[in-house]
Structure 1
Amino acid sequence: MSSSPLSYVLSFSCPDSIGVVARYSNLFYECGINITEISNYTDPQSNTFFLRCVFDISGMSCSLEQFEARLKPVADELEMKYRLRCATALPKIVIAVSKYDHCLTALLTKQRAGALPADIVAVVSNHENCRALTEWHNIPFHYLPITSETKPVQEAKMLAILDESEAELLVLARYMQILSDDLCAKLSGRAINIHHSFLPGFKGAKPYHQAYDRGVKVIGATAHYVTADLDEGPIIAQEVRPIDHEISVEQMVHLGHDTEATALSQAVRLHCEQRVILNGQRTVIL
């Protein structure tokens, strides 16, 4: 749904207990806040409550700063992990890519069309292949070549670009390099990868070849948060496409480009709309 500059998004998770809903809803009522969109979920396994709401501050009986000051003790009491932001503020993202440009093309096109609520502030790559495409969209392109010897320096430059541009998210759009454990830790919850397979099956290199050898009847793609454990981060979005025995591995690769671009675009949109909340090794999408 569309939002106005007077709309804010609050999302949080906390241990589930009697009175959680009453505590935050009473605060909203006392501050004269009108909730326009709300969704919540309680996970019985982790005993955790999750909520995302959009609210209008035009009729508030206090200032936004006063509301935030009153929210903090409630958050402390309920052990909330929360995030509050203006609904129209576009999160800044940096995209990392190698030679394949289909995921990058989808993200750039969707941003240009207004279908991706994000501000793509830079593209980084270990190859020059995507420079022309990136610069055509008037976005800075950073060529960061990498070898095993220069990886620490290259990753430091990538992290500097993220910091200098104030980007909150790194999107690996078929970036064919494995991030170091140190960088994964620094970007925990702030980096999304697209794996050209329907995880948890067929991890690592050449998953389409692995899938072909097993004679699968569907191929897919998985967008997930990056962790130090390769291709095992919390899953955000997945896409599949049916195939049959006549499809060659080369055809699978080309068909898979659509599922990869769709899954990654969906995951980035969900993250930027503040709909994804981590739940251990899983995610809750609200």
Structure 2
Amino acid sequence: MLHETKPIRARLLISCHDRPGIVSSVSTFLHEHNANIVQSDQYSTDPSGGMFFMRVEFDLFENGLKFAQVKEAFAAVANTFEMEWQMELESRKKKMAIFVSKEDHCLLELLWKWRAGELIVDIPLVISNHADQREAVEAYGIPFIHIPVTKETKKEAEQKAIDLLHEYEVDFIVLARYMQILSPTFVAAFPKRIINIHHSFLPAFIGANPYAKAFERGVKLIGATAHYVTDDLDEGPIIEQDVLRVNHRYTAEQLRVAGRNVERIALARAVTWHSNDQIIVYGNKTVVF
């Protein structure tokens, strides 16, 4: 057999200006470093000079170069094409912190998928501005940190959370219906690493009470939007959206119930895609492979 040792799976994400030779150079590099491409996806906004995006999964073999050596060597290819890129081992579980307030539907969906092995991450802690979900979280063996937030203590509370996230070496954060607006300082500490679920089909019904607004407009579709957080409220790059058909018989409360189901699904998908290195952020958009 050509390879008798167990392969090590890795992922490569690339974005750069489109030009001839990118795919050839990446493929040649991986071949020269004893790697076997098992999946490759690419997208170009405009082949005549737009942006190029690529995601590659490949196997390295233990009798070849180590992953760290391959990653270091790829910098030369990346520099040639002025790429933004990341290379990750599939086996490295990202550390995901969850922020929650009082509502539990998104939180419990993530915890259930994590325990079922459907969400391949580590969850070192859950942070909340209320103590309501402590029992539910600790039942999963996950530390629950209660950090109350008031108008007067918001800055100190955020700094405490940032310190904890750095202490636990968290890779990304999920706002599972965390009902606090994060400051620019907090967002800047974790760029493109904070995922939020908004309980409406953005850009419609931005801000508070979207279901009341939807009820007043007599909508026929209830939606939810998972997106990355930026300084612009509810306007960050959209990762996933989903909808559920409703009708004139739905009350505002029934719309909320329907909406919670859509929120759980959209957020879980977005988190899964992020943890699997399937998303590239470009400007205020995302490319999801």
- TM-score in terms of structure 2 length: 0.95
Matching residue of 2:155: 152
How far off is 1:255 after superposition? 1.2
Matching residue of 1:134: 137
Partner secondary structure for residue 267 of structure 1: helix
How far off is 1:63 after superposition? 3.4
The one-letter code matched in structure 1 to 2:21 is: G
Please, which of 183, 188, 193 is the counterpart of residue 190 of structure 1?
193
Please, which of 77, 83, 92 is the counterpart of residue 80 of structure 2?
77
The one-letter code matched in structure 2 to 1:214 is: R
Structure 1 CA distance for aligned equivalents of residues 196 and 63 of structure 2: 40
Show CA shifts across 1:38-84 (max 9, x none).
11111129811111111110176433333223211111111111111
Partner secondary structure for residue 245 of structure 1: coil
Greater CA drift, 235-244 or 38-47: 38-47
Q: 2:235 aligned with 1:221, yes or no?
A: no
Q: 2:105 aligned with 1:102, yes or no?
A: yes
Matching residue of 1:143: 146
Matching residue of 2:22: 20
Q: 2:76 aligned with 1:56, yes or no?
A: no
Greater CA drift, 181-190 or 98-107: 181-190
RMSD over equivalenced CA pairs, Å: 1.4
Q: 2:126 aligned with 1:119, yes or no?
A: no
Matching residue of 1:173: 176
Partner secondary structure for residue 69 of structure 1: helix
Partner secondary structure for residue 121 of structure 1: coil
Contact conserved, 2:25 with 2:77, CA < 8 A, in 1?
yes
Matching residue of 1:7: 9
Structure 1 CA distance for aligned equivalents of residues 69 and 158 of structure 2: 40
Structure 1 CA distance for aligned equivalents of residues 253 and 153 of structure 2: 33
Contact conserved, 1:15 with 1:47, CA < 8 A, in 2?
yes
The one-letter code matched in structure 2 to 1:48 is: M
Structure 2 CA distance for aligned equivalents of residues 70 and 181 of structure 1: 35
Partner secondary structure for residue 124 of structure 2: strand
Show CA shifts across 1:205-236 (max 9, x none).
00011111111100010000000100000000
How far off is 1:5 after superposition? 6.8
How far off is 1:22 after superposition? 1.3
Contact conserved, 1:33 with 1:60, CA < 8 A, in 2?
no
Contact conserved, 2:94 with 2:171, CA < 8 A, in 1?
yes
Structure 2 CA distance for aligned equivalents of residues 41 and 226 of structure 1: 24
How far off is 1:117 after superposition? 1.5
Matching residue of 2:91: 88
Matching residue of 2:45: 43
Structure 2 CA distance for aligned equivalents of residues 254 and 157 of structure 1: 33
How far off is 1:158 after superposition? 0.9
After superposition, the Cα gap between the structure-2 partners of 1:136 and 1:169, relative to the gap in structure 1 and judged at 3 Å, is same
Greater CA drift, 62-71 or 11-20: 62-71
How far off is 1:247 after superposition? 0.1
Give me the identity figure in percent.
43
Contact conserved, 1:35 with 1:54, CA < 8 A, in 2?
yes
The one-letter code matched in structure 1 to 2:82 is: E
